[in-house]
Copies of this chain bind each other. A is one copy, B any other.
Amino acid sequence: MPRLQISDKRKTRLAEKLGIAGLRVTEPRLALAHLLFRHGNRHVTAETLLDEALRAGLKVSQATVYNTLNQFQAAGLLRQVQVDQARSYFDTNIDAHHHFYVEDEARLIDIAADAVNVAKLPDSPAGYDVERVEVIIRLDKKAAKK
């Protein structure tokens, strides 16, 4: 029984998205999809998404948030970004692109694919295909000017 208001038009659009991904259309999934996809590209963790959902008045369990994130990722609606041992980040931007990561703030920032040019790549070991090339630029807060 979500307390979140979603227009019928939007519901239909999200339901379609879930359907195409091969996922059943359920209320928790619709609501989480709404939160995830309503405002451009985002980075969430299970924790931040659950918080957001609860604050929005949704009655979703932690388990459902985890399941949903994993299913969305398996279905290609989200991409997992591995920058921090402590927690999993999910990115609503599923196009090829890269990331800045500010460790001190646990903050991810997208980098458009064409802003990075990987000019030379080594051959992959025999028997293996490249699945994805990830560029992660780790950032530090700038030291005080001397």
| A50 adjacent to chain B (CB < 8 Å) | no
For A82, list chain B residues within 8 Å (CB): 82-85
In Å, the complex CA distance between A80 and B140 comes to 16
Number of copies of this protein chain within its complex:
2
Q: Check A132 for interface membership: any CB of B closer than 8 A.
A: yes
Against B, the Cβ 8 Å flags (1 = close, 0 = not) of A115-144 are 111111110110111111111111111110
Nearest chain B CB to A113's CB is how many angstroms away?
11
A37 at the interface (CB under 8 A from B): no
Q: Is A4 an interface residue (CB 8 A)?
A: no
Minimal Cβ-Cβ distance residue in B for A133: B137
Pick the contact of A116: B121, B130, B140, B141 (CB < 8 A): B121
Residues of B within 8 A of A127 (CB): 141-142
Q: Are the C-beta atoms of B118 and A118 separated by less than 8 Å?
A: yes
Residue of chain B at shortest CB distance from A143: B129
Q: Which residues of B contact A140 (CB under 8 A)?
A: 128-131
In the complex, are the beta carbons of B121 and A118 less than 8 A apart? no
CB distance from A43 to the nearest CB of B (A): 15
State whether the Cβ of A100 lies closer than 8 Å to any Cβ in chain B: yes
A48 at the interface (CB under 8 A from B): no
